Amino acid sequence: MLIAVFLPLIFACLIPFLSKWKQKVHTGWFVLPIPFSIFLFLILKVGKQFSPISQSYNWIPSLDINFDLYLDGLGLLFGLLISGIGTLVVLYSIYYLHKTEQLGHFYVYLLMFMAAMLGVVFSDNVYALYSFWELTSFSSFLLIGYWNHRSGSRYGALKSMLITVFGGLSLLAGLILLTIVTDTTSIQSMIDQKDTIMNSPYFGWILGFVFLGAFTKSAQFPFHIWLPDAMEAPTPVSAYLHSATMVKAGIFLVARFLPILSLSEWFFVVVSGIGIITLCWGSFMAVRQTDLKGILAFSTISQLGMIMSMLGFGTDAAIFAAVFHILNHATFKGSLFMVAGIVDHETGTRDIRKLGGLMTFMPITATLALFGTFSMAGVPLPFLNGFYSKEMFFKYSLELGEYSGIAQGLATAIPFLAVLGSIFTFVYSMYLVFGTFRGEYKKEELPQKPHEAPIGMLISPIILVIGIIVIGLFPHLVNGSFLAHAAEAISGHESHKHISFWHGFVTPLFMSLAVVGLGTLLVLTRKRWNSIYNVIPGKLSFNRVYDWLVDRTERFSSKITKTYMTGSLKLYVQLILIAIIFGTISMIVITNGINLDATDLAKIRLPELLVVGMMVLASIATIFTNNRIAAILILGVVGYGLSILFVLYRAPDLALTQLIIETVTVALFLLVFMHLPKLEKRNESKGSIFMNAAISISFGGMMTLVGISSYTSKWFDPISDYFLETSKSLGGGSNVVNVILVDMRGLDTLFEIAVLGIAALGIYGMIKLRRKKEAK
Amino acid sequence: MSMRTNDLILRTTTILIAFILLAFSVYLFIAGHNAPGGGFIGGLMTAAAVVLMYMTYGFESVKKIIPINFRYLIPVGLLTAVLTGMGSFLYNEPFLSQTFAHFSHIPILGEVELATALLFDLGVYLTVVGITLTIILSIANDQ
């Protein structure tokens, strides 16, 4: 199984070498065997006697992150869809994409996506699942943006990336919480511990995060907006990703975690509620579209909503119906996308307003479209699989059981909403097929003269339509052998259902008939009620919300950045000082660190007082002087005062050094200031002066407080006694300061002189380099 | 400094003072281990003496008297400091281990006590001289 997952990835690495023969052989032919062999590998597992297979490969065992693979009925169903439709899509793309396109890129992305999808459905380890999950987002981003010279493709790719990655990250949060709660990374062991999960305080968060992940990926309301824009991708991609596989990843996730998620009483309301809203909104919006793929995109959204709401019903039978519809939807939607691609390819447009009357030109395509759309609409014909699952949907929406509160309201509304959504589904399905293939032929509006597609392009949709009919005629062919296993994998119970066309005169049949009747009526009178679309989505479109959000986030963040990143050094210094003041003072308050104790202080002597008084006066004078030379000289007074203080406190080395350094700095300042313009009186507003004063005074006050507090709270004896004792015996010198500098802590000195050296070279370099630049 | 007037008094005193300063700086450097002083102060003092000479006699004349490029003193000093530190490796000691010894029969000086830290201090001294003069001269000579 590991090979099955990684085969596409490994093969993707070889594709660049195959592109050499691109001119002779279409690269797609090399790719074709890959999904087909995976399909064969998986189809051999189908059978009545199926038991889950589990395998484990080490990845990061120390973190309990491994490639744990688990193949049960659900994984098998999805695996077959992915590899089967993958085969057909590769075959279709061979005829769809011309050799002049960048085929290497296309097939690399497609194989990456295939591997990622297989990884998602086979993973048992949540982190492996998440890794593959993000790889699907990533590869679908690349595929949507395949024609990256079009701005629409880039916009659609970005949109789908933002939305699905947003969901993916919230899924990660949910999975991490699950790991924390259950202390395992295996999904099956998590399901075994569902009681622990339900009783944990994080249960609500887990639900929220996982649902968010699933709903964004599966284009549920209101995150459905990325899917119509993803239609900018090449049609094989739309057929594969946006109808059959990736958008079902969210459904897969809900199905996989159903035993855990359905523990919540909100499960039904959230999943079915969102699902049914998505169903109605998607089918309603699909009628409005004029682009063939736009119709199909919204139709996919609404069908996914239907599957989601069936999963939400939570009964074994409804789950079986959901699984059945996953299969059915993959068959008819895949074929319809391919048909749309053929129409686009052969006429040069996908705008349904320009199309019409194509039946005589493309009879085979028209037939395929007819089967696909009728199956999608759920027209009661005994050879269309769509009808069966829709009938089951109606049936189980009536058998929801007893709920209370909002759930009861929803349970009552669901059958009506289901019928409403299905009516619109019928309308757009009929519009799709009759609008394209019947009606008058508009010769002057078509860019190309239409003709039937080459046979190679038709093979894939034909196979899918055969699938529709075979499942429609013999539903039990797929029922016992693997649909039942899939349903069992979700719900944990045996659920072998009998699928039959004729139930007798029961409510679901009348619902279907109502759908057909009302749907036909609406199709015929479409022009009269079309103006409703100017009112209802109108300004309420979620695309506007998305655009507004993206635009606002951008503007808002740039605004924030501009408020504090003004380029003014003064502001930065102010901000840094304020941050230090707040941080220190809040820390002092929190730890109750103020300690003003005067017992340990020495007596103040008159010389000290005089020197300090002089220094204070000099510092104040520095602030108020407007003459630069004067400022330097007065500052020098402070420096000399300091060296006198060192003398008073018996630090001769420091006093000497300070004296010379002060002299040298004053001299340097004077040297440098020769080159500077005259200092002028600054015109500052009173508020700014006040602000500066407030910051300086509070900073000084804070430092005083910190100094006094730390002086009075001595926790340890100083180590200076050791230095005093051992300076002579160990260092061989009686100047303790110097012995410390060169012997006991010589390393500090070494690096200090290195710092000075760098500074000197820096100054030298700065002056010399500037000169050279000026010379040029 | 190009517009020098007839500053005879300055020139005469400088000859005297510069030598006193240089001698004092050497004293500070050597005495550093047992009395206030050391490589840093000594280096600064030497630099001060040289700066005084520059101020009195001008850049060109001093360059002739002391034909040293002070920039090279920086790496030489740093190298001295690092090498004395690495010298302790020869005796299987950690980096920058210092030791000292008494030497009793040295001519003129008689009995002295010499520490290897003095060599390290020499590195400091050379670096500080180099740094100070590099900075001051490059700024002062900047047009």
Asked if the model's pLDDT at residue B23 lies above 90, the reply is yes
Query: Is B127 in Cβ contact with A753 (below 8 Å)?
Result: yes
Average pLDDT over residues A180-204: 85
Under the banding of pLDDT at 50, 70 and 90, the label for residue A765 is confident
Asked if the model's pLDDT at residue A577 lies above 90, the reply is yes
Q: Which residue of B has its CA nearest to A749?
A: B124
Per-residue pLDDT tens over the stretch A5-21: 888 888 888 888 877 77
What's the pTM? 0.79
Residue closest to A335 by CA, chosen among A372, A299, A298, A301: A372
| Residue from the list B32, B98, B139 with its beta carbon closest to the beta carbon of A672 | B139
Helix (H) / strand (E) element for A552: namely: helix A542-564
Task: List all residues of chain B from 41 to 80 with a beta carbon under 8 Å from chain A.
Answer: 41, 44-45, 47-48, 51, 71, 74-75, 77-78
DSSP state letter for A268: I
Query: Is A743 in Cβ contact with B98 (below 8 Å)?
Result: yes
> What's residue A727's pLDDT?
82
Asked if the model's pLDDT at residue B46 lies above 50, the reply is yes
- Give A554's Cβ-side CA count (13 Å radius): 6
- Give the best residue of A643, A653, A742, A772 to mutate against chain B (max B CB count within 10 A): A742
Looking at the complex, does the CB of residue B22 fall below 8 Å from at least one CB of chain A?
Answer: no
Q: Which residue of B has its CA nearest to A666?
A: B136
| Residue from the list B51, B95, B128 with its beta carbon closest to the beta carbon of A756 | B128
Buried-state track B103-119, b at ≥16 Cβ within 10 A, e below 16:
eeeeeeeeeeebbbbbb
- Could you tell me which residues come within 8 angstroms of residue B54 by beta carbon, excluding any fewer than 6 positions away? B1, B62, B137, B140
Under the banding of pLDDT at 50, 70 and 90, the label for residue A757 is very high
SS3 letters across A313-360: HCCHHHHHHHHHHHHHHHHHHHHHHHHHHHHHHHHCCCECCCCCCCCC
> What's residue A615's pLDDT?
92
CA–CA min distance B108, chain A (Å): 21
Asked if the model's pLDDT at residue B142 lies above 80, the reply is no
> What's residue B4's pLDDT?
56
Helix (H) / strand (E) element for A68: namely: strand A65-71
In A, which residues are within 8 Å of B113 by CB distance? 732
> What's residue A147's pLDDT?
87
| A74 CB burial (10 A radius; 0-12, 13-18, 19+) | buried
Average pLDDT over residues B70-91: 88
Helical ranges in A625-651 per DSSP H: 628-648
Helix (H) / strand (E) element for A570: namely: helix A569-591
Under the banding of pLDDT at 50, 70 and 90, the label for residue B9 is confident
**Cα–Cα dist A242/A301, whole Å:** 9
Helix axes A103-122 and A126-144, enclosed angle (nearest 10):
150
Q: Which residues pair with A55 in a beta bridge?
A: A69
**Cα–Cα dist B118/A175, whole Å:** 65
Looking at the complex, does the CB of residue B99 fall below 8 Å from at least one CB of chain A?
Answer: yes
**Cα–Cα dist A622/A630, whole Å:** 8
> What's residue B2's pLDDT?
47
Residue B114 phi, psi dihedral angles, 5° rounding: -120, 135
| Residue from the list B39, B74, B99 with its beta carbon closest to the beta carbon of A757 | B74
Lowest-pLDDT choice from A31-35, A168-172, A530-534, B71-75: A530-534
**Which residue carries 């990374």 as its tokens?**
A185
Under the banding of pLDDT at 50, 70 and 90, the label for residue A366 is confident
Distance linking the first and last C-alpha atoms of chain B = 11
Helical ranges in A592-719 per DSSP H: 606-624, 628-648, 652-673, 686-712
Helix axes A203-217 and A247-256, enclosed angle (nearest 10):
150
CA–CA min distance A571, chain B (Å): 30
Helix axes A316-347 and A247-256, enclosed angle (nearest 10):
170
How many CB pairs lie under 8 A apart between chains A and B?
144
In B, which residues are within 8 Å of A726 by CB distance? none
In B, which residues are within 8 Å of A742 by CB distance? 33, 38-39, 98, 117, 120-121, 124
SS3 A291: strand
- Give the best residue of B70, B120, B128, B139 to mutate against chain A (max A CB count within 10 A): B139
Report whether B65 contacts B53 (CB < 8 A). Answer: yes
Lowest-pLDDT choice from A46-50, A57-61, A223-227, A753-757: A46-50
Average pLDDT over residues A274-287: 88
| Residue from the list B33, B85, B130 with its beta carbon closest to the beta carbon of A739 | B33
Asked if the model's pLDDT at residue A627 lies above 70, the reply is yes
In A, which residues are within 8 Å of B78 by CB distance? 753-754, 757
In B, which residues are within 8 Å of A732 by CB distance? 33, 99-101, 113, 115, 117
Dihedral (Cα; A221, A223, A225, A229), 10-degree rounding: -130
Query: Is B138 in Cβ contact with A768 (below 8 Å)?
Result: yes
Report whether A237 contacts A296 (CB < 8 A). Answer: no
Residue closest to A672 by CA, chosen among A753, A570, A766: A766
Under the banding of pLDDT at 50, 70 and 90, the label for residue B1 is very low
Report whether A115 contacts A131 (CB < 8 A). Answer: no
CA distances from residue B40 to A171, A555, A649, A732, B69 in whole angstroms, order as listed = 63, 56, 20, 19, 20
Report the percent of chain B where pLDDT is more than 90: 22
Per-residue pLDDT tens over the stretch A385-436: 888 888 888 888 887 777 777 777 788 888 888 888 888 888 888 888 888 8
In B, which residues are within 8 Å of A754 by CB distance? 78
**Cα–Cα dist A756/A657, whole Å:** 15
**Which residue carries 């990250």 as its tokens?**
A169
Report the percent of chain A where pLDDT is more than 90: 12
Query: Is B138 in Cβ contact with A735 (below 8 Å)?
Result: no
Per-residue pLDDT tens over the stretch A551-574: 899 999 999 998 888 888 888 999
Residue closest to B52 by CA, chosen among B6, B5, B19, B24: B19
| Residue from the list B34, B44, B74 with its beta carbon closest to the beta carbon of A660 | B44
Tell me the two tokens of residue A382. Answer: 């005994």
> What's residue B139's pLDDT?
81
Looking at the complex, does the CB of residue B140 fall below 8 Å from at least one CB of chain A?
Answer: yes
Under the banding of pLDDT at 50, 70 and 90, the label for residue B76 is very high
> What's residue A315's pLDDT?
80
**Cα–Cα dist A7/A457, whole Å:** 26
Asked if the model's pLDDT at residue A109 lies above 60, the reply is yes
**Cα–Cα dist A216/A246, whole Å:** 11
Q: Mean pLDDT score of chain A, rounded to an integer?
A: 84
CA–CA min distance B72, chain A (Å): 10
Query: Is B71 in Cβ contact with A757 (below 8 Å)?
Result: no
Report whether A666 contacts A633 (CB < 8 A). Answer: yes
| Residue from the list A660, A738, A768 with its beta carbon closest to the beta carbon of B32 | A738
Report whether A207 contacts A173 (CB < 8 A). Answer: no
Helix (H) / strand (E) element for A56: namely: strand A53-60
| Residue from the list A660, A732, A761 with its beta carbon closest to the beta carbon of B115 | A732
- Give the best residue of B21, B138, B141, B143 to mutate against chain A (max A CB count within 10 A): B138
Asked if the model's pLDDT at residue A230 lies above 80, the reply is yes
**Cα–Cα dist A323/A392, whole Å:** 11
Tell me the two tokens of residue B30. Answer: 């050597």
**Cα–Cα dist A435/A526, whole Å:** 12
Distance linking the first and last C-alpha atoms of chain A = 68
**Cα–Cα dist A473/A500, whole Å:** 10
> What's residue A679's pLDDT?
61
> What's residue A60's pLDDT?
86
Helix (H) / strand (E) element for A589: namely: helix A569-591
Domain ranges of chain A: 265-551, 566-595+686-715, 603-677, 717-775
**Cα–Cα dist A303/A218, whole Å:** 10
> What's residue A539's pLDDT?
58
Average pLDDT over residues A741-752: 88
CA distances from residue A236 to A51, A107, A123, B125 in whole angstroms, order as listed = 34, 11, 26, 78
Report whether A735 contacts B37 (CB < 8 A). Answer: yes
**Cα–Cα dist A663/A666, whole Å:** 5
**Amino acid residing at A170:** S
Query: Is A733 in Cβ contact with B100 (below 8 Å)?
Result: yes
Q: Which residue of A has its CA nearest to B124?
A: A753
Distant-in-sequence contacts of A100-106, Cβ < 8 A, 24+ apart = A103/A19, A103/A22, A103/A26, A103/A27, A103/A28, A104/A15, A104/A16, A104/A18, A104/A19, A104/A22, A104/A27, A105/A142, A105/A146, A106/A143, A106/A146, A106/A234
Query: Is A741 in Cβ contact with B128 (below 8 Å)?
Result: no
Report the percent of chain A where pLDDT is more than 70: 94
Angle at A733 (CA atoms; ends A727, A738), nearest 5 degrees: 80
Looking at the complex, does the CB of residue B88 fall below 8 Å from at least one CB of chain A?
Answer: no
Asked if the model's pLDDT at residue A700 lies above 90, the reply is yes
**Amino acid residing at A495:** S
Query: Is A652 in Cβ contact with B135 (below 8 Å)?
Result: no
SS3 A415: helix
The interface predicted TM-score of the complex, written ipTM, equals 0.89
Helical ranges in A384-504 per DSSP H: 385-398, 406-437, 455-473, 476-478, 484-491
Per-residue pLDDT tens over the stretch A37-80: 888 888 888 777 777 888 888 888 888 888 888 888 888 888 88
| Residue from the list B35, B48, B96 with its beta carbon closest to the beta carbon of A746 | B96
**Amino acid residing at A764:** Y
Q: Which residues pair with B103 in a beta bridge?
A: B112
DSSP state letter for A60: E
In A, which residues are within 8 Å of B35 by CB distance? 734-735
DSSP state letter for A71: E
**Which residue carries 């691609």 as its tokens?**
A341
Query: Is A759 in Cβ contact with B75 (below 8 Å)?
Result: no
Under the banding of pLDDT at 50, 70 and 90, the label for residue A579 is very high
In A, which residues are within 8 Å of B93 by CB distance? none
Q: Which residue of A has its CA nearest to B132?
A: A760
Asked if the model's pLDDT at residue A760 lies above 70, the reply is yes
**Which residue carries 């660049």 as its tokens?**
A16
**Cα–Cα dist A581/A587, whole Å:** 10
| A219 CB burial (10 A radius; 0-12, 13-18, 19+) | buried
Residue A506 phi, psi dihedral angles, 5° rounding: -120, 170
Asked if the model's pLDDT at residue B105 lies above 80, the reply is no
Q: Is the backbone peptide bond immediately before A450 cis, with ω within 30 degrees of 0?
A: no
CA–CA min distance B140, chain A (Å): 7
Average pLDDT over residues B106-131: 82
> What's residue A682's pLDDT?
63
Residue closest to B34 by CA, chosen among B103, B99, B115, B108: B115
